[in-house]
Amino acid sequence: MRFGEFGGRFVPEVLIPPLEELEDAYSRFKNNVEFQKMLDYYLKNYAGRPTPLYFAENLTKKVGGAKIYLKREDLLHGGAHKINNTIGQALLARFMGKKRLIAETGAGQHGVATAMAGALFGMKVDIYMGVEDVERQKMNVFRMKILGANVIPVDSGSKTLKDAINEALRDWVSSFEYTHYLIGSVVGPHPYPTIVRDFQSVIGKEVKVQILEKEGFLPDAIVACVGGGSNAIGIFYPFIKEDVRLIGVEAAGKGLDTGKHAASLLAGDKGILHGMFSYFLQDSDGQIATTHSIAAGLDYPGVGPEHAWLKEIGRAEYVAVKDDDALKAFLDLSKLEGIIPALESAHALAYAVKVAEEMEKDEVVVVNLSGRGDKDLNIVMEALKC
């Protein structure tokens, strides 16, 4: 139920029974052969797993240090790692007999992945999305609608991801009897951080097999971006007990000293929001702060409790990369490898290059390329003023 002191279940009383129901159903789901077979089937045939572990030779040559491998989650259906979790949880919802899915989305990637799973399994889907994000991410809103989902704009608070989560929780309080709340990251009350981590660990499991095939040894370092932290925990988790450096990269936005960032592990304080005890960006009264990142998927004032714990015990390192450096990594990878990464993943790339530079040529760094960058072209255009 907890990761050290982090995690827990800080919710109004009415949500305790649905969370207990979910916890119980999930433990049965994990051991249900038929559903596990279905999960494998859809991950392979629908989502496109396993994804390649690609040796980025041009980038490696340019950097002149450790060999850089990219875990190509950007090649998954939908263009991001999010589908690993939405297929898993949609099947879990079906297993529980729930007919409707609700979800929050920031940039829209998780909303799109939920809409896909809902279409696939014939479930009604309602997606909560902050008004600001609806405005910024028109294409993804349209994608969700085409996929048959209903997008509900949220105009309370900061009108972004955290408020979309608030609104989804408010919905769930009155609809849990027939609705599954499909949380998109390793956040929220127990058992969500564990469920989402389990569904995303397929990333790390594959990397383990693939790198042993290609190099014959485990990587020296793994780098992933951290917003809520689902792609990072997904690739870290199977390596936690191995001798591998794990590096999570948060969004430094315009700089950690400007207040315009989303680095809750580096600059936040312990607190309670969205049902969990973790690190949050907040003021001295405990009011949650507004955040900024060029990457909408990192633009969240909190972080998953397991990351908070990995930081606390020193098992993973957490750093932050600014908007400008992420943008540069975005352009570099596009030109050098012909791969346009998501701006979120570009944060991980930017730091991975720094790490690789200081390592030996026979060492290996794996970067989780969690998504593709097509969704970010408008933002990049604006940033480059072209």
Partner 1 sequence: MLKKDLLVFLTAGDPDTKATLDFMLSVEKYAIIELGIPFSDPIADGKTIQRSYYRALKNGFRVKDVFLIAKEFRQHSEKPLVLMTYYNPVFRLGLEKFVERAKESGFNAILLVDLPIDEAGAYLEVCRKFEIGTVFLAAPNTKEERLKAIDDASTFVYLVSLYGTTGAREELSSLALDLLFRAKKICKKPLAVGFGISKAEHVEKLIKNGANGVVVGSAVIEIIEKFGKDAGKYLEEKVKELSRALN
Residues with a known catalytic role = 82, 104, 370
Of the candidates 31, 45, 174, 241, which one interacts with partner 1 according to CB under 8 A? Answer: 174
Tokens in use for 253? 């936005």
Dist CA 41 CA 252 (whole Å): 39
Question: Between residues 17 and 122, which has the closer beta carbon with respect to partner 1?
Answer: 17
Would you count residue 16 as binding partner 1 (CB under 8 A)?
yes
Question: Between residues 31 and 287, which has the closer beta carbon with respect to partner 1?
Answer: 287
Would you count residue 170 as binding partner 1 (CB under 8 A)?
yes
* Segment interacting with partner 1, rule: CB under 8 A, options 23-31, 127-135, 172-180, 219-227: 172-180
Best CA proximity match to 248, nearest among 264, 272, 269, 270 = 264
What does the per-residue mask of binding to partner 1 show for 325-354, with x meaning CB under 8 A? ------------------------------
Would you count residue 288 as binding partner 1 (CB under 8 A)?
yes
Query: Cα–Cα distances in Å, from 5 out to 269, 272, 279?
Result: 14, 12, 11
* Segment interacting with partner 1, rule: CB under 8 A, options 114-122, 222-230, 234-242, 274-282: 274-282
CA dihedral defined by 221, 51, 337, 317, rounded to 10 degrees?
Answer: -20
Would you count residue 303 as binding partner 1 (CB under 8 A)?
no
In whole angstroms, how close is the CB of 222 to partner 1 at the nearest point? 32
Would you count residue 8 as binding partner 1 (CB under 8 A)?
yes
In whole angstroms, how close is the CB of 133 to partner 1 at the nearest point? 16
Question: Between residues 85 and 179, which has the closer beta carbon with respect to partner 1?
Answer: 179
* Segment interacting with partner 1, rule: CB under 8 A, options 100-108, 164-172, 204-212, 250-258: 164-172
Of the candidates 3, 42, 280, 300, which one interacts with partner 1 according to CB under 8 A? Answer: 280
Rg over alpha carbons for the chain, rounded to the nearest Å, is 19
Would you count residue 156 as binding partner 1 (CB under 8 A)?
yes
Contact, 219 vs 364, CB < 8 A?
Answer: yes
In whole angstroms, how close is the CB of 347 to partner 1 at the nearest point? 25
DSSP state of 46: I
| Side-chain half-sphere exposure of 63, counting CA atoms within 13 A | 29
Would you count residue 17 as binding partner 1 (CB under 8 A)?
yes
Sole residue written with tokens 């085409």 = 146
Query: Cα–Cα distances in Å, from 326 out to 186, 252, 322, 348, 350?
Result: 23, 10, 6, 8, 6
Question: How many residues touch partner 1 (CB under 8 A)?
Answer: 36
Sole residue written with tokens 């207040």 = 259
Question: Between residues 69 and 176, which has the closer beta carbon with respect to partner 1?
Answer: 176
Best CA proximity match to 84, nearest among 155, 218, 185 = 185
* Segment interacting with partner 1, rule: CB under 8 A, options 112-120, 135-143, 209-217, 279-287: 279-287
Question: Between residues 176 and 236, which has the closer beta carbon with respect to partner 1?
Answer: 176
Q: Is 313 exposed, middle or buried (0-12, 13-18, 19+ CB in 10 A)?
A: exposed
Tokens in use for 45? 């045939």
Sheet holding 2-3, edge to edge: 2-3, 6-10, 275-280, 269-273
* Segment interacting with partner 1, rule: CB under 8 A, options 8-16, 83-91, 132-140, 318-326: 8-16
| Distance from chain centroid for Cα 317 | 17
Of the candidates 54, 69, 176, 239, which one interacts with partner 1 according to CB under 8 A? Answer: 176
Binding site for partner 1 (CB under 8 A): 8-14, 16-18, 156-157, 162-163, 166, 169-170, 173-177, 269-275, 280, 282, 284-288
